[in-house]
Structure formats: C-alpha cells, structure tokens
Structure 1
Amino acid sequence: MSKRSYRTSCDGDGSSSAKHRKVKVSTFRKWLRDYDREYQTLTWLDSETSWDNGEKIVEKLKCKKCTKYRDRIISRKNFSGKWIEGSESVRTTNVVDHAKSDQHLYAMKLQQLEEAQSWDGDTTTLMPIVQSLCVISEEERQKLRMKFDTAYFVATEHIAYQKYPKLCELQMKHGVNLGSSYLNENVAKEFVKYIAESKLQSVLSFVQNSTFFSLLMDGSTDASNSENEVLFVMWCDVNSDDHMIHTRMTYLSMHTPLHTNAEGLFESLQQGLQLLGISCVTQEVCSNLVGIATDGASSNVAANGLQGLVQEKLPWVVWMWCLAHRTELAINNAFSSTPCFKLIDDMLLRLFYLYKKSPKKCRELANVVPDLKEVYQIDDQGGTKSIRACGTRWVCHKVSAMKRVMAKFGAYTAHLCTLSEDSSIKSVDRSKFIGYLHKWADAKYILGCAVFVDVDLLLPCSIFSKSMQADELDIVSALTYLLKTVKEIDKLRKKPISKWQIYSAILKKIVYEDGKHKYQGQEVKRFFEAKSYFESHYKEFCQLVVENLRT
C-alpha cells in the first residue's frame, strides 16, 4: 500500500500560497512517545485534527503549557503566539525548536513551581535542581549530595551516562536511600554541568586574585577527528594552608577553532581569556598574563604564527616551547640520524601492523610461545602481540616495543616462518614474510634493540621524559632531571659496551650451534659484523643524545 502524502495549500499574504504538512494521528502519537524522554512531550504537546478521505490527520501543533501561561510568558524574549493559536508546520524539527525556546522553557518552569506549591511529598521530584535547593530538607539535601557524587564518579571515570541510573540502583540495593527523584541519565548530565561550573568559578577566583598567571595550549582531536584546542591555566598560590608558595595548574577550557592557522588559534586563546574575565588581548587588560606554552608546530611558534600575533600585542609575554615535547623531539632527532636505528624502527612498525588487525595471527602467535618457552627461555609475561612504537610519548613507546621484541624474538620469527610456508596465504604476502625473515635475521636487529633499550641508553631518556609530565614540576626540578640524564648517558659512553647490562645479557643468550649463531632458537646472521659495528659506534650514539639534549 503506497504511503499517502498530506499536503494542502493555504493562503499567505495574497501574493503567494505557502504549503504546510499534515501527518496521521498515529504518527503524531509516535512523536509523543519518542520525544517524551528528552522533551517531556506527553505533558505539553497537543494538536488540532480533521478528517481527510475518511482518515484522521493532524493539521496543527499546539502547546498546552504556553497556552495555559500565555499572560505570564508574553513578555519573554522572542515570544510568538503561533504555538498557542496552532502551528501549521507539522514537523518534528518544529517540535524540537519549540521545546528549546525561551518562552516554552519558562512556561514549563511555571508549571513545576505551581505543582511544587501544592505537593506534600519529595519536592525535588517536581522542581529544577537549583530551585529545589532553597526549599528541601536536610535529609533531601543529603540524598542530592550523594547523587552529585555518583554523577561526578561517572564523569571522572569516563563511564557512559547511561550507567548512572544503574549505579544509583546498585546503591539503593545495598541500603542507600537516594529517594525517587533525579535518577535518570539526563539529570546526571545536569549534575556534571553544575559541578563543572562550580569548579570553573573556583579556578577563576584563584586566577583573578593572583598577581600573575600563564596559559598552556595544545591541540587534541576528538572521535570525529575534529581539531580542538585545549587550554590550561597556571598560577602561583600564595594563600596555601602550609604558608608556602605553590604552582597550581588546572584545565580551563576547550575550543574548536574554525581554522587551525594562527588566526584560528588566536581566537581560541581569546575565548579562554574571556572565561577569566579578560575581554580582549590588549596591554591594558592582559597585564597579569606573563607566559604561554605550546608545542613546536609552525602555526604556534613561527614569526607569523600565534606567537607573532600575541607578542605584537603583548611583547612581555614569555613564550615557552613545551619542555616534554621538546625532549621527545631532541631524542628522536638523535636517533633518526642513525641508520641502524632506522632499520629497527621500520621493523617495529611492520611488526605492529602485521598483527594489528588480525586476531587469527595473534592467536597463532600466542600458541607459538608455549612451545618455545621451555626450550629457549622465552619470556611469556606481558603479552605476545607487538606493541605500537609511535605516539606522543615517543621514547616510552620505543622502549616498550623493543622490550617486547627482545622477549619474543624467537616467537615472531618462528611464526613468520610458518606464515611464509602457509599455502592458504596469497603468494604476494608469503613473499613479503620471507623478505621479513631474511631481513630481520640479521644480528643488527636484536643487538640494536639491546643497545638502544632499557638501562643502557633509552631508559634514562624514558625516565626523563616521564618526569617532564609530572604533576608537580618546576624549572629547578626539570633542570635537575636533565642534568641527571645527561650524566647517566655520559657514564655509558665511558663504559665499555660489553659491560652494558642488557647488551651483555643478550650476548650471553646468543649461542653457537651447528655452525650458526642462534637466539631463542632462531638463526641470527652476520653476528660478528653486527657486534663489531656496535662496539665501534656506541660512543657516537651516546654523544648524539647528549648533544641534542643540551641544545
């Protein structure tokens, strides 16, 4: 049966005719149910109906609450009487727009207040959260406090808001009296919004009373891959309980710039400053802003970037390139110029993508480890799947990935051998696996991991990188960590490589059997060439890291 379209024409101003839509009563009733959860349509949405070809249809939409309180909402901003007389636009978008309108929200509030005055029970079931706080008893206030705590837990633990009602239900199951109101997920969102506003006001109070403050900015992409600019604010707290001066830092805001160029970032900066009560970026109103920290992207630090725009208006502002980010780049630069490290980095990348989207290969790899564990002392702790070697924390990612390769090298090569002989795999892929086997069998790979990782070379850098991301960090601590890292690496440069802890341990595990050098049962080729290479170049590696950290 074909769907019937209800469209009629009605006269406008006489010069043209405007069309409006009509729907079946069954469709209207479905709207009532579908939109009630979010907009409480069952309490206010009404309609005018007529008959068309023997079928009842909706011609106009009306609002019961706006009609009831017409005299009290007529003075509201953008008041319109069309939902009182009957709106001819019979569409869900029109319903949603009216539900969000100022006059409708005020009419709903008037209805809640009227009902609350005649209600003898729990007033919080009928009144908005803020208004209910003025009239509720201490017992109801305690219930509300526990619900706020639950909503705060949901938000800070990154739990879906849909879990809030279940958490409340669980608490009540264990004897906690939460009452019967404010137990749905929409209320949880409201609670979190109020908590956020309260925390923001607290931050603003501290910052506005401080003598100086600084801002930290960084880009972040959301699930839709949209670029967002996150702002943190830092200030000196001179009014602490221990009578000491503390550096405080906290989240301020997040903005979505229209463009990720200098102008777009400057707009995000202005929006953040407006939250602090600073209306514009001028010398008169921004005298307390003394520093801004960003990463080293050209849109931030170039002469025509954000730094240039800010310092043109506020020349005294100290611009800081994030020390943690700079440390990562410095160490990255040191190793990127090393051909051997590039080979190892390429191996880590290809290993990661080999298993990333293949549960079957991961299961096969996991089955290989127990077979080799007893014979070749393969470490079965910490999982088998290869680890991603790239990320924002470059050093930590590389250290973790190379540790996994050293622990499971025999399993990876044995599984590659199996894949290269599996006739069910495409010949092109089998050829690729054979190429990996021949390439990674070179002793440079396993010995290189031993040289660059753990306590030998990258671990001091990894510890330094993590220390730069500590919550309590000042310039003295940062300088201390830097000097300590440089000192540790300089010690390695003066120590014979044969006494490096991990490198010497790997050398002991490489055995000579049947005329071949083997590690975890797998042949490693050109062992002496690789050993000679690292013995002659390890001082150079250390020197590169030290030079890049110092500059």
Structure 2
Amino acid sequence: MLRYVDGAKPGKKLRIETESQPTVSSNKKYEEKRVRKFLEECHIGRPWLKYENGKMFCECCRENETTGAFCVGTTNFKLTAIKQHENTNIHMKYAMKYLRPKTVEKSQAADCLMKLKKSEYDRLVIKFRTAHALAKSHQSFRFYNTMCRLDKAKDLDIGTSYLNDKSASTFVQTIADVTQDSVREKVLKSKYVSFTCDGSTDFTGDDMENVYVRVVVDGIVEDLFLNIGTANSAASAGIFKFLMETFDNLSLNIEEKMIGFCADGASNMQGTKTGLAALLKEKWPHIFITHCLAHRLELAFKDAIKKYAVYDRMTTLLLGIYYLYRKSPKQKKNFGRAFEALGMTVILPSRVGGTRWLPHLQRAISAFIKGFRAFVFQLETSSHENPKAEGLAKLARDGSVIIFILQLKMIIGVLARLSLYLQRRELCIGDAYMRVKAAKAELLQIFES
C-alpha cells in the first residue's frame, strides 16, 4: 500500500523491553571488560605523579603526610581522577615547589643584552631621583639640566638622553602615577576608609583642594595623600562634585567602606543644611562627621581670649616689632647693633599667626621675652625719628601688657604642646581625649598656683 502513496515510509520496529532482561549501555559493558593501565602520558605537566608496584600516588602529598587515595596509592588510573586530585586545595598547597620552572642557562648574547639593559636602568634611576628631589624641594624643572650636568661632572654615567625639563616633568608624572596606584590598592584592600580635604593656594593663586584618606591595612593605620585638584567653586556643591569625580576617576568603590569625614569648621565644610558634611551625610547616611581637633582648639582659645582687650594690644606689639625689623634693612641693622651693645645674642622677632597659630604665638612670645631689653632699647632709640617705633616703645613699657605676656606664656605653652599633639598623623580619638584631659589638669594647676 505504501508504494501508492507519495513520500510514505515504513515505520520503525518498536523496541520491547522485558523485566527479565534489563538494558545495559555499551559504555558500561566496555568499562566492565576494559583493563586500565597507567599511561606515561599522565606524567606530562605533573612531575609529582608517581607509579610504583602497580599503584599511582602523589609524591608531594605523601611527603607532607596528607590523607587520601593519592597519598597511600590507588589503582584508579582514570584521567578524571587525576584531574580531580590536582584541583584540590591541599594538593595545590604542597605542589608549588614541583611546578617552579627550572633555571635555564643564559647564552652569551643574553648576558650582553641584560648588561645593556642594566646600564640603561642605572642611568634612569639617577635621572628619576634627580627629578624627584627637585619636585620635593619645590624647585623649577628648568634646574634639572643643571643637575644633570653636575652629575656628569661627578663622573656619573647618565647618558645623553632625557636631559631637559620636559623629561623631568615626565619622570615626576610617572612617579606620581605609580604612587597613586599604590595608594589606590591600599584603599581597595582596606575594609574601612575615612577622608579629609582642605583648600590651599598654589603659586598662581588658584584654589586647590587636597584630599587625604585614612586606611587600615594589615592592622596598620595609614594617612595617605590621594589627590589634589581644582573644584568648580569653593562652595560645598563644587567641592562635593570634585570629590565624587576623584573617587570615580580612580575607580574606588567605597560605598560601603566610607565611615568618616573630617574638616575644619568653615560653613562650606561643616554646614548642617547645605555644607559638604550635609551632602556627604545624604549620600552616605552612616558616615561620621568630625570637626578637626586642632581647629577646634584654636577656635576655643580665640573665643576665650578675645574678651581681654590687652590681648589685642599684645598682638599689635608683636606684629609691629616683626614687620618693623623684617621689612626695613636700616632698622634691622640698628636692631643688631642694639644686641651687640648690650652683649646679647641676636634674636629675631617671630610672626604671630600662621597655619599653626598657637605654636607660632608661643615662638613670638618666647622671642620677645628673651630679647626684651634689646627690643625696648632699640625702640626708644628709634622713637625720635620713627613714629611707629615710638608707639611700639610705649606698648613695650606698658606694665599690663608685659604681665599679660608673662602669664600667657605659661598657658600658651600647654596649649601649643596640645595643638602639636592633635596634629599627629597616628592620633586616635582615645589618645586625643586623654591628652586634652591632661592639658585641662595642667591648666587648672597653673590657675590655682
């Protein structure tokens, strides 16, 4: 019938299975009859695999007295069993010494090439160190060529290439990139990260933002310089955008690591509504905001001392003496003659204020007390022809100002030491609390005496 129908094909015979005769796969029948032997090809890439007395074993696992079939010996010569064993953690731990490449004898041509590369490497080391020294000492890169000629005069082999200021700039940029990569690795390795930023001005007058991070790597706390750059504005929004761009450009995934931020008390930093601290709190609600301890100490001192009018007269006296002798060569010469006439060592006046206000004020007060006789002598001598010196001489003879300076010297010494301690890199909150407590006790002792 099928031949009369186009495309018709006979059907396949149905397979009938009986319970008495279950089906057995051909692979299983083959494995039952097959007699496996250890193949020498298994040694390739496996120097630890050994075969003795009809058994296969792992030499490195047996030497380290581990447990398992490959330690006592096995007759399972399947390749899958070998691969399963070499991927175990205990095997990989002890098999490293068997996988180390053997030393290869170098040819004479290779030795010559290595010596040539070593010579070029030594030349670059000298140039990199020279460029690094210039950058660290804030020198111009135009001075780099002079330093290279000095190295040649010292019979140092520096070659004939990379001797201009552009090369120095390239070297410094390379050092900066490598250092930044090292800092980035530490940030990524650390479980917790906190940071601080502050503004500064470069020699062109542009406002720059410096970013430092504090990380914990292998139980060691480190403060690291991360980046410096220019924000769109000094407002909190501009600084916040600059910080986020810095973290993104360095591919720092610190969403869960960021735990702290520290800054001074400026409104654009610590403002509770629109300040940088508020913007960071909005992005990372868990972040802990800290007001810089050294800045808080300075502000506390100024708030406590501003109610004394004599403090303003003391500041006027110290600043006036500093500018009188620092800005006038004639007065400076007369100042030196006054010390010689009194048989005293010349002590130049120090400036009040600066980035570390309390230590600067302490130095200015100490210099004034040590050279008090010479200061008064010179001011009184110059008062006949210099109205400014006459006014400063009246302040220097004012008993209330002198008593205030002597009393402040004892107090400022305690506060200056505390200020320097609070600026230490390795400082923690616990140490700061104990140091502040000790300073308060010392001040109370001074007031009681």
Deviations 1:272-312 (A, max 9, x none): 21243148xxxxx6221111111100011112111111212
**2-side partners of 1:474 and 1:275: how far apart?**
30
Aligned to 1:340: 310
Aligned to 2:293: 323
**2-side partners of 1:230 and 1:340: how far apart?**
37
Q: State the one-letter code of the partner of 2:256.
A: S
**1-side partners of 2:441 and 2:276: how far apart?**
36
**2-side partners of 1:208 and 1:337: how far apart?**
49
1:216 counterpart SS class? strand
Q: CA deviation at 1:399?
A: 0.7
Kindly indicate whether residue 383 of structure 2 is the aligned counterpart of residue 420 of structure 1. Answer: yes
**2-side partners of 1:420 and 1:153: how far apart?**
48
Aligned to 1:119: none
Q: 1:288 aligns with which of 226, 237, 257?
A: 257
Aligned to 1:113: none
Instruction: Give identity over the alignment, percent.
Output: 28
Deviations 1:240-295 (A, max 9, x none): xxxxx11111111112122111111112211221243148xxxxx62211111111
The verdict on how the C-alpha distance between 1:136 and 1:480 changes in structure 2, with shifts beyond 3 A counting, is farther
Deviations 1:509-531 (A, max 9, x none): xxxxxxxxxxxxxxxxxxxxxxx
1:230 counterpart SS class? strand
Q: State the one-letter code of the partner of 1:305.
A: G
The verdict on how the C-alpha distance between 1:144 and 1:433 changes in structure 2, with shifts beyond 3 A counting, is closer
TM-score, normalization by structure 1: 0.58
Q: State the one-letter code of the partner of 2:236.
A: A
Aligned to 1:177: 157
1:259 counterpart SS class? coil
The verdict on how the C-alpha distance between 1:413 and 1:342 changes in structure 2, with shifts beyond 3 A counting, is same
Q: State the one-letter code of the partner of 2:268.
A: S
**2-side partners of 1:418 and 1:216: how far apart?**
51
**2-side partners of 1:400 and 1:275: how far apart?**
43
Aligned to 2:204: 224
Deviations 1:211-262 (A, max 9, x none): 1111111111122332211101111112xxxxxx111111111121221111
The verdict on how the C-alpha distance between 1:444 and 1:169 changes in structure 2, with shifts beyond 3 A counting, is same
**2-side partners of 1:232 and 1:134: how far apart?**
41
**2-side partners of 1:388 and 1:251: how far apart?**
29
Q: 1:395 aligns with which of 358, 372, 390?
A: 358
Q: State the one-letter code of the partner of 1:346.
A: T
Q: CA deviation at 1:338?
A: 2.5
Kindly indicate whether residue 374 of structure 2 is the aligned counterpart of residue 411 of structure 1. Answer: yes
Q: Would you say the 8 A contact 2:231–2:239 is kept in 1?
A: yes
**2-side partners of 1:137 and 1:439: how far apart?**
71
Aligned to 2:330: 360
Equivalent residue runs for 1:1-80 within 5 Å: none
Aligned to 1:257: 231
Q: Would you say the 8 A contact 1:208–1:276 is kept in 2?
A: no
Aligned to 1:490: 444
Kindly indicate whether residue 401 of structure 2 is the aligned counterpart of residue 445 of structure 1. Answer: yes
**2-side partners of 1:468 and 1:331: how far apart?**
15
Q: 2:183 aligns with which of 193, 197, 203?
A: 203
Deviations 1:121-168 (A, max 9, x none): xxxxxxxxxxxx999622211211222122112212223222222222
**2-side partners of 1:206 and 1:437: how far apart?**
58
What RMSD in Å do the two structures reach over aligned CA positions?
2.2
Kindly indicate whether residue 280 of structure 2 is the aligned counterpart of residue 306 of structure 1. Answer: no
Q: State the one-letter code of the partner of 2:390.
A: I
Q: CA deviation at 1:461?
A: 1.0
**1-side partners of 2:437 and 2:156: how far apart?**
54
Q: Would you say the 8 A contact 2:352–2:361 is kept in 1?
A: yes
Q: Would you say the 8 A contact 2:351–2:360 is kept in 1?
A: yes
Aligned to 2:320: 350
More deviation, 207-216/137-146: 137-146
The verdict on how the C-alpha distance between 1:367 and 1:246 changes in structure 2, with shifts beyond 3 A counting, is same
Q: Would you say the 8 A contact 1:332–1:394 is kept in 2?
A: no
**2-side partners of 1:198 and 1:288: how far apart?**
23
**2-side partners of 1:317 and 1:471: how far apart?**
21
More deviation, 348-357/139-148: 348-357
Equivalent residue runs for 1:93-242 within 5 Å: 137-238=117-218
Q: Would you say the 8 A contact 1:232–1:252 is kept in 2?
A: yes
Aligned to 2:432: 478
Aligned to 1:3: none
Q: CA deviation at 1:433?
A: 3.6
Deviations 1:365-416 (A, max 9, x none): 111111123xxxx4x25x33x2210112111111111111112222222222
**2-side partners of 1:198 and 1:269: how far apart?**
21
Q: State the one-letter code of the partner of 2:319.
A: L
**2-side partners of 1:135 and 1:302: how far apart?**
61
Deviations 1:330-383 (A, max 9, x none): 22222222233232122112222323321221111111111123xxxx4x25x3
Aligned to 1:267: 241
Q: State the one-letter code of the partner of 1:467.
A: Y
**1-side partners of 2:427 and 2:147: how far apart?**
37
TM-score, normalization by structure 2: 0.70
**2-side partners of 1:476 and 1:369: how far apart?**
47
2:423 counterpart SS class? coil
More deviation, 155-164/254-263: 155-164
For the pair shown, which has the larger CA radius of gyration, 1 or 2? 2
Q: Would you say the 8 A contact 2:123–2:157 is kept in 1?
A: yes
**2-side partners of 1:144 and 1:191: how far apart?**
9
Deviations 1:470-522 (A, max 9, x none): 23222222223222212221221222xxxxxxxxxxxxxxxxxxxxxxxxxxx
**2-side partners of 1:278 and 1:246: how far apart?**
20
Q: Number of residue pairs matched?
A: 336
Q: State the one-letter code of the partner of 2:447.
A: R
1:252 counterpart SS class? strand
